[in-house]
Structure 1
Amino acid sequence: MNNEKKEALEEIKVIEKKNKSNYKKWLMQYAWITFGVILTTIGYYFFFSPAKIVAGGVSGISIIFEPVWHNIEWFKDSYFIYGLEAICLILGLVFIGKEFFIKTVYASLLFPTLVFLLELVVEKEVIYYSISEGNRSLMCMALGAILTGAGVGVALRHDGSTGGIDVVQKIISKYAKIPLSQTMYFTDWVIVVLAGLSFNPFAYNIEFVVFGSVAVIIEAYIIDYIALSIKPRRTVYVVSDNPQDIKNLIYTELDRGVTFSPVQGAYTNKERTMVICTMDKNEAYRIVGMISKVDPKAFTFVTSCKEVRGEYDKRGLF
């Protein structure tokens, strides 16, 4: 009986420890999502909005229609963004599901709330007018794209979202059977183009459309870089008759683990061993030359890696 009680207490402790660990992970996830939304808000409020640069998303739509309420003193940009976010959330609930709605509602409402708070305490042109007149558009485009791209990238890296148009993108991807990455680019480009079409009574100068297009490209690159690979990696594949020598070289020079994979030549039917190793970019450049000295006949090729997960820095796991 005593043994059963001990086992039960141990199980309870394990469960409590697991729940505590999950709670910490949850807090960290939402802390990073919050940080990402903060970066996105700063990029929009201080740079994109005062410079009238449309770079997609709910914030881009609000910039397009800002002239509608420009002369209405009590109406704020954040009110319009709240409305759009609410519409997107309802669409997400209907077409994607309750789980997605719960996960997205926080970021969707945090963004306009931060914009609203900034509107109460500081003018959005405060940084804009501190930049020399000839460089304002270029600087706002660059800084806005960097901050917004970094914010979205941070949120995505921690399995989050910045809400808004992301919901519409997921709906299109789900029902049109289009990859989400293509949907993201498509919707952003549509918003950018609409900002400059002649039938749009609120259209800004075409130069701002060009700035918006460049901003979308910069954002996409930064999002990919942060969300998928903070540091560039390379995977080296080596087909050799001396796989042990190649393995020892990589162990000695790089302290990286390797994977052996049996391969067979289609023409000769000869069975050989492929050595596979993922490493940093500079390590790949260095090791390829060394491999040719260990086995001049080794067939070697290198590919880029966008994402590496797991125990990357420990020997023997790749």
Structure 2
Amino acid sequence: MFLFEAKRIVIVIVGALLNAIALNFFLISADVYASGFTGMAQLLSTIFSEYVGVDFISTGIWLLLLNIPVAILGWFKVGKHFTIYSFLSVAVTTTFLEILPIISFSEDIMLNAVFGGVLAGVGIGITLKWGASTGGSDIVAMVLSRMKDRPIGSYLMIINGIIIVLAGYLNEPENALYTLLALYVSTRVIDALHTRHEKVTAMIVTKKADELQRAIHDTMIRGITILPARGAYTREDKAMLVLVITRYELYDLERIIYEVDPKAFTNVVQTTGIFGFFRKND
């Protein structure tokens, strides 16, 4: 498990580096904005620099400041593991943003938007795949989704929509279009690396159903259906646990299964819609 967590930390650091490169080498110099709180940090840096005259607070510092209250919220409402690694990603991203210079490889805004979107998408995608996020918008969207039981994507769309509108207002209208292009490219890359579906269904065949059920409920509040199962070849009696989770919980579920029953067989399938209770508090 030490090597497992060490690899997770390395992945988070690499994702943070890719995000910082996307910002400092492509997006910031072209006045194209990233998604989520990273884009908000860019907007605040632009507003305070050009309209207030305060230019000593960089995008990286704004990103860190925005995520402090969100990290506290995530600690109590989302999960400690997810919040710790998410804040680690933010802190490392801030460090790289301060270290790396802001340069421009091209004067073409479209090229900056596309390449910045690709690098940001890769950074976010691999970070999500390993059970963390790159900013506070994911945590805020997850909390709101659990309160209203609505898709996380709808809340992220609202946040990104605000960023697109302000990008066009603070700069030229075409900057809003290029920001939309960068967001579209990054989203497509994230979907390719992680999963485009907000919810997935996990079917776990195991001999340790009770232990696995308790371990899952200790980490996440999710309903589980336990069905009897039998191996066709071995004729051994087993149990199958069926549960629906969000894509952000995939890593934690994989870790739990690995700790409790490494020999368990798990099938994860896409879930396009659910009816009834998805989450129930104690």
**Pairwise same-fold verdict (TM > 0.5):** yes
Gaps of 5+ in 2: 197-231, 233-268, 272-282
**What is the CA deviation profile of residues 258-295 of structure 1, one whole-angstrom value per residue up to 9, with x for unaligned ones?**
xx9xxxxxxxxxxxxxxxxxxxxxxxxxxxxxxxxxxx
Structure 2 residue corresponding to 1:226, chosen from 175, 185, 193: 193
Query: Counterparts of 2:78 and 2:270 in 1: how far apart (Å)?
Result: 28
2:177 is matched with 210
Cα deviation for residue 94 of structure 1 reads: 4.3
Q: Determine the C-alpha separation between the residues in 2 that align with 1:44 and 1:185.
A: 20
- Aligned residues of 2:126 and 2:194 also touching (Cα < 8 A): yes
For the Cα contact (< 8 Å) 2:16–2:90, is it kept in 1? no
User: In the TM superposition, what whole-angstrom CA distance separates every residue of 1:225-275 from its partner, at most 9, and x where no partner exists?
Assistant: 01139xxxxxxxxxxxxxxxxxxxxxxxxxxxxxx9xxxxxxxxxxxxxxx
Aligned partners of 1:179 and 1:225: how far apart in 2? 19
1:180 equivalent among 152, 155, 176 = 152
Corresponding residue for residue 27 of structure 2: 48
Q: Distance in 2 between matches of 1:156 and 1:75?
A: 28
2:11 equivalent to 1:32: yes
For residues 74 and 187 of structure 1, the distance between their equivalents in structure 2, rounded to whole angstroms, comes to 26
Amino acid of the structure 2 residue aligned with 1:115: L
Select which of 88, 107, 118 maps to 2:89. 107
State the secondary structure of the residue aligned to 2:33. Answer: coil
Secondary structure, in 3 states, of the residue corresponding to 2:67? helix
Give 1:213 deviation, angstroms: 0.8
Equivalent position of 1:69 in the other structure: 49
Give the superposition deviation at 1:95.
3.5
Amino acid at match of 1:69: S
Q: CA deviation at 1:147?
A: 0.3
What's the offset of the Cα at 1:153?
0.6
Distance in 2 of aligned mates of 1:32 and 1:76: 25
Counterpart-to-counterpart distance in 1, 2:79 and 2:195 = 26
In the alignment, does 2:134 pair up with 1:159? no
- Counterpart CA distance in 2 for 1:27 and 1:184 is 30
1:160-209 deviation per Cα after TM superposition (whole angstroms, max 9, x unaligned): 22133222121222112112233333322232223334xxxxx1111000
Does the 8 Å CA contact 1:55/1:192 hold for their aligned counterparts?
Answer: no
Query: Deviation at 1:83?
Result: 0.9
Match of 1:91 among 69, 73, 81: 73
Contact in 2 for aligned 1:53/1:63 (Cα 8 Å): no
Give yes or no for contact 1:169–1:187 (8 Å, CA) kept in 2. Answer: no
Give the secondary structure class of the aligned counterpart of 1:196.
helix
Q: Which of the numbers 161, 183, 205 marks the counterpart of 1:189?
A: 161
Give distance in 1, aligned partners of 2:71 and 2:56.
25
| Structure 1 unaligned residues grouped into runs of 5+ | 1-21, 198-202, 230-259, 261-304, 308-318
- Residues 90 and 148 of structure 1: CA distance in aligned 2, closer, same or farther (over 3 Å): same
Is contact 1:61–1:191 with CA below 8 Å preserved after alignment?
yes
How many residue pairs get matched?
Answer: 197
Amino acid at match of 1:84: L
Structure with higher Rg: it is 1
Calculate percent identity across the aligned residue pairs. Answer: 22
TM-score normalized by the length of structure 1: 0.56
Q: What is the letter of the counterpart of residue 35 of structure 2?
A: G
Contact 2:86 2:133 survives alignment (8 Å): yes
**In structure 2, how many angstroms separate the alpha carbons of the residues matched to 1:193 and 1:67?**
14
